[in-house]
Structure 1
Amino acid sequence: MISNTTTPKGEVKTHTVVIVGGGAAGISVAASIHKRDRDIGIAIIEPASTHHYQPGWTMVGGGVFRPEVTSRPMPEVIPPFVSWYQKAVTAVDQDKNQVVLDDGSCIEYKALVLAPGLELNWSGIEGLEAALGSNGVTSNYREGMASYTWDMVQNLKQGRALFSQPPMPIKCAGAPQKAMYLSADYWLKQGVQSKLDVQFHNAGAVLFGVPAYVPALEAYIEKYGIDVNFQSTLVAVNGPAKIAVFRTPGADGNHQEREVSFDMLHAVPPQRAPKFIRESTLANEGGWLDLEDDTLRHKTVPNIFGLGDVSGTGNAKTAAAVRKQAPVVAENLIASLRNEPMRAAYLGYGSCPLTVENGKIVLAEFGYGGVLQPSFPKWINDGTQATKAAWWLKAKQLPTLYWHGMLKGREWLARPAVRSTND
């Protein structure tokens, strides 16, 4: 039975494996470890009471999913074989093999898995957080806000709709575009597209980081008549005035700021690792968890592993990446506990189902360096065209596979690669 544990201040409890984070990464890796060795004692530290299927929020914002299907009470999702500490972590003391909780207590470990996800830095855009949920300002990245997105999409008949994407890295880098495509598809089908000025403001310099998928996306940009603005970063929002401020590089090397009015704004905040990671010695120069690309073990602390959005590895931050990472961490962590060579390798796999219209998806699958890593037959994913089969996979199959497969340790299409060297 799940133990929702409290630890008196000053008392130190010990578990063989401690996992920080009860999201997709933390629960999946717990299930994968337990699947391989049922005698290993596992604890999960997670303060939240609700577990969210975040890939579903885009679909809620597009009127495809109901909000309630994207969340479940955390006690229904936490595995029964773990001890659950419903606390937040404030620090990791790698010298003492302890994590410090927000009540001042500590938990000791033999091996630590860091999977706390990332932090949405809403304050990184002036005025954004205060503006959310009114005056047409929304974000599918905000819990409970995707329904407002759908309301705005249905009610907008004319005017200007802005969609922003912040500097990388962010979770699900395709999500800002997904919201835009689903909205534009609805407006096209409702016959109001010609009355709308739809703009995409991307802080980056390209539409998508893997060139193989760009032509298919560009075709939809043209179809919907979207005005794409590269190197255009949202820096401020005035909700009541319905003004967004974008920063762009000037010809003289200095930045310029431009005000753009809107009737609807779908904004995505900049993102970063949680404070206890980014301000610690466990972080790389960018503030993300400093992991080996293949083993997912920390580069300098051998009994710490990591996965999910907090990772400083060069993969896309998606739930599909977690699906591939969890078995790798499980195998290598167990090997480490047994003083055996680590043989499992993660090759950077990530998947981004780009919802380019209601009923079709460009299913991007790729690894480190943008190398294509298709895992489905070509009739589902040919890498260049949107398909109905890929939509069927995301809309009908992936939620069930998430709740009843990945979180239960069923490693569908997730066999780890074998390391070329065994250090």
Structure 2
Amino acid sequence: MTTDLLLPRPTARPWRSAFGTLPALTLVVSLTSLSAAHAAGTPARPGALVVEPPSKQRTLVVETRSSSQGIAVLVNDDPITNYEIEQRQKLMGLGAGDIQTKASEKFKALISAKSTTEKLRNILREIIKANPNKSKDEVLDIFEQRKKEFAQSLQKQAVSSARSSILPGLRKKAIDELIEERLKLQEAKRLNVLADDDEIDRLVSGIAGRNKMDIEGFGKHLKSMGADISSMRARFKAMISWKNVIRRQFGHQIAISTRDLDRAVASTEGDDKTELNVQLITLLYDNNLGQAELAKRLGQASQLRTKFTGCDSTSTLAKEAGGTRFMNLGPTESGKIPEPTRTMLTNARDGEMLPATVGDKGVELWVVCGRKTVGADDAKRDAAAEDLRQREFQVLAERHLNDLRQDAHIEYR
């Protein structure tokens, strides 16, 4: 089972954060006083606002990379470094449920502080001093923009502070998770079923896509919050590899009884679905598709249709024609086949090849080789059976991991 990690995205609305709508910063300014001060060119009094850069706001707990490279745990002589533990803590912190509440509380405390109002007054004084020739409305427009930027900086500070406050409590959990991952990867390596990079890339890409980013942008987004994408990839590698281990070791032991399946299936009714057993020959277009090429392919398709004798001969016909692609699609839900092909296939007789149709990549010849009606209960039974199998796998996986842990040599430094 894969748990998606949904990350807070930067927002153009400074008053709305990843944890909901928060009270806006307010500052009551007398327009009369502002106008008079502006007209007189009254200088702002000392006390300009100094806001720490985002990098400093995020780094509330700092340890150098060199010192964090020390080994913290050995798992069968396989080291886990302090840096890995820190990164896993930060990754776990991204999904911690109480971060939103803590960040909201910290933000509210910041905006209600007297120092915040004073900083905003200083910002206004700076603007007046720097723009002696601008009108009252122009000065207020500049102030509104600066006020929004200041709110954004407070928002980032609140989130960073909330995240840092929970990291110490995640250290033991991070160590335990990394130890389990080492054991899982060691077992997968022994059985030669380690996950490859392509599988990991697909998972990371899926999460990045749901956050409306590519992998590179997603990695930068994680880094901006103090986490390294390599920690996420390591977690996924262990997860996929362990799934391979359990299926290899225990797949033959899983047997779901009819009685258990009947108990698991709900009694709700549903509409029947039709599955068509279909084949497809595509007479591929040449690079320079024109009317002559299309007419040629349609003629070849008509000849193939006259030679068709049954589903057993479809593959041979395609090979003899040349420039074709044959696909035995097997059982396919009719609802997944686009119109008008779906209606034509549904109305055709079993063992019939449809007249040629023009597709995106070539002239298509569809064949209906059979059909069956799948009731909603059948689909639900399949889903229930898969759920029961996953539960059995989970029990066996936990038991096997406990055995590996008991046999392992784990040394804490």
TM-score (norm. length: structure 1)? 0.19
Which one has a bigger Cα radius of gyration? Answer: 2
Higher helix content, 1 or 2:
2
Higher strand content, 1 or 2:
1
